[in-house]
Amino acid sequence: MKTLHIDLETYSDIDITKAGLYKYVQSPAFEILLFAYSYDYEPVRIIDLAAGEQIPAGIVRDLNNPNVKKTAHNAAFEINCLKKYFPTEICQWHCTMVHAYYCGLPGQLGQLGKALGLPGSRQKMAAGKQLIKYFCVPCTPTKGNYGRTRNRWYHDRQKWGLFKSYCVRDVETEMEIHKILERHPFPEAEHFNWVLDQYINLNGVSVDRELVSGALAISGQMQGDLSGRARKITGLENPNSVAQLRRWIQENSGLELEDLKKQTVAEVLADKSGDKLVKEVLRIRKELGKTSVKKYEAMEACVCGDGRIRGLLQFYGANRTGRWAGRLVQVQNLPRNYLGTLDTARELVKKRQTDALRAIYGNVPDTLSQLIRTAFIPREGNRFLVADFSAIEARVLSWLAGERWRLDVFKTHGKIYEASASAMFGVDIELIKKGNPEYALRGKGKIAELALGYQGGKGSLVSMGALGMGLSEEELPDIVRRWRGSNRRIVDFWYAVERYALDTVRNGTAAYMPCGIAFDRDEDYLSIMLPGGRRLYYYKPEIRMNDLGRDAVHFRGVNQKTKKWEMISTYGGKLTENIVQAVARDLLANSLMNLYREGFQIDFHIHDEVILEVPEDSGRTLEEAVGIMCRLPGWAEGLPLNADGFESYYYKKD
């Protein structure tokens, strides 16, 4: 099979960073400027479409030839740009960005080239950003450019020549990366999952534009009112300025604040002896700082002409584990809703009844925040079926570790918080129910389950909110000890995973665990094979001392705190977390494929939850969808998978 490597440079009057790829391409102003390509690593050629050149007929045919594999970096971009003019099938494409994510590497082409140590002549050209800004987006009209709103190829031929070289270099870089990545092939099953992800993103989900516009109007009105109140109290021209407001607080109360971050503001508001005016201004700032309106603004920016938002999901967004990440509206971190009268609240927002919202619900910004989920709606004549896995990570961890009492819980009543408390404190589970004093133990069981499954300790309990739920610091070590004592197989699993990883990196020999986990080592990677056959990759592993003075596996990756490519230390609990989350992700991918094959339309999915859009008269039921979701793949025999859900005419948290 021949491979056709492609890179495009394009123009659109739509900001792709805010509106997304699909709206960007749909713009009437969109056009492809340059088409650079190479067959099977031959010298790169470029077609200057902006200057009137045409793509040869043979290449156009190959764009839809199943015997020619099309390859690009972030291939979703090339696919959707080319599909506007030429037929091409997603399944014929390969994405080196996703392949890099699979191999535990950075996705951005420039960072990826540096991480792999490509020579300078094969790395992405640094001048690219300036050239893209000049040719690919609208420009500001000035006297110097004779009032034009766009720079074309003939406005600066020298820059245009450099731009063509930049496009050629991108193909050269992508080809070098492709050669390296092919040493660790992208699994066929993952390719099919990626193709399905492209279909899901292309389909998108409808947005209640009336609700969005109403929320933005109310928010705008409140922003004006709140800013006016703050100006009246403080006399400041810009009370949103941190520097001005800190100075005003110091001058009026003597209180010196290092910053005005969320925690700092909360501490001042909690001080009963604090200055009333300062508190009032900080309450206003807190309300102004509500991020809910940003989600509505994002929806408005990226909704396409047919009222649907596309491109909400990034396949392999969490490289290594393979979990999806959110894009544009960031559906992976939507605020929860607790209102019992969502229908009423939605109607009031649509009618822009701010006073009524305040009278009924009190906190209007919080109400708008809770309604964000409900802005996602099915088409007219359709409804949503929303289903999600129940305690998926806890089930997977118990299954991998062989913690039998937990598996029995998940196979029967499923009350893991009560069962955990029962095991920790030696109390009959029947007594841990509302109305009994033993019910207080459920909270300890819950926080332990949420915080301790991946070798967490006292600090993990604190970060999960243990102190906020009334537990004292003195109680926390005992909770850790009790949870570990009642989950000895899980504790053994952490240490076994760490031991296998250390031995594999040291000795370079393969090692196997009874649960279907396998460790291997080659020149570049420590790999952990999951029960389903997919691998987790850890680049350039080595043994170093960690902060505790112990031997630990270190590898090169993107530090989640610094966002830099650097050496990272890991341990048994963290590796266990990677494994469990990856297995849970594979179960979700399996359920998505099963649902698709059974004819369900998947609008989007969040974590372990799937949002399906079905016609009213289709006869499709929630029970059918849940049953399909819970079909186990052959490699997951014995895993007690369960799901539940609800039906609705808008998305919400049930």
Q: 377 pLDDT exceeds 80?
A: yes
The mean pLDDT value for 413-424 works out to 95
Residue type, 396: V
Is residue 232 within a helix (H) or strand (E), and if so which, with residue range?
Answer: helix 209-234
Structure confidence at residue 291 (pLDDT):
60
**CATH fold for the domain made of 383-392+511-654:** Alpha-Beta Plaits (3.30.70)
Residue 415's alpha-carbon distances to 64, 202, 449, in angstroms, are 52, 39, 12
Q: 324 pLDDT exceeds 80?
A: yes
The mean pLDDT value for 66-78 works out to 98
> Mean pLDDT lowest for which of 121-130, 200-209, 538-547?
121-130
Mean confidence (pLDDT) of the chain:
94
pLDDT digits (tens, 9 = 90+) for 257-280: 888 888 888 888 888 877 888 888
pLDDT digits (tens, 9 = 90+) for 456-490: 999 999 998 888 888 899 999 999 999 999 999 99
The mean pLDDT value for 217-224 works out to 90
The mean pLDDT value for 430-444 works out to 93
* Contact in structure between 509 and 493 (CB atoms under 8 Å): no
Radius of gyration of the chain (CA): 28
Q: Which residue has the tokens 């609208």?
A: 138
Query: Six-digit token pair at 106?
Result: 């950075």
Q: Is residue 522 helix, strand or coil?
A: coil
* Contact in structure between 530 and 517 (CB atoms under 8 Å): yes
pLDDT digits (tens, 9 = 90+) for 129-170: 999 999 999 999 999 999 999 999 999 999 999 999 999 999
pLDDT digits (tens, 9 = 90+) for 482-541: 999 999 999 999 999 999 999 999 999 899 999 999 999 999 999 999 999 999 999 999
Q: Tell me what percent of the residues of the chain surpass a pLDDT of 90.
A: 83
For 296-310, b where at least 16 C-beta lie within 10 A, e where not — what string?
bbbbbbbbbeeebbb
Confidence bin at 614 (pLDDT 50/70/90): very high
* Contact in structure between 450 and 468 (CB atoms under 8 Å): no
Between residues 171 and 654, which one has the greater pLDDT? Answer: 171
Query: Six-digit token pair at 278?
Result: 């300062």
Structure confidence at residue 290 (pLDDT):
66
Residue 164's alpha-carbon distances to 46, 157, 159, 225, in angstroms, are 7, 10, 9, 51
DSSP strand E in 195-330: where?
205-207, 308-309, 313-318, 323-326
For domain 2-186, the CATH superfamily is: Ribonuclease H-like superfamily/Ribonuclease H (3.30.420.10)
Domain segments of the chain: what residues?
2-186, 203-377, 383-392+511-654, 404-486
Structure confidence at residue 286 (pLDDT):
81
Neighbours of 43 (CB within 10 A): 9
Q: Measure the CA–CA gap between 52 and 519, rounded to whole angstroms.
A: 54
Confidence bin at 564 (pLDDT 50/70/90): confident
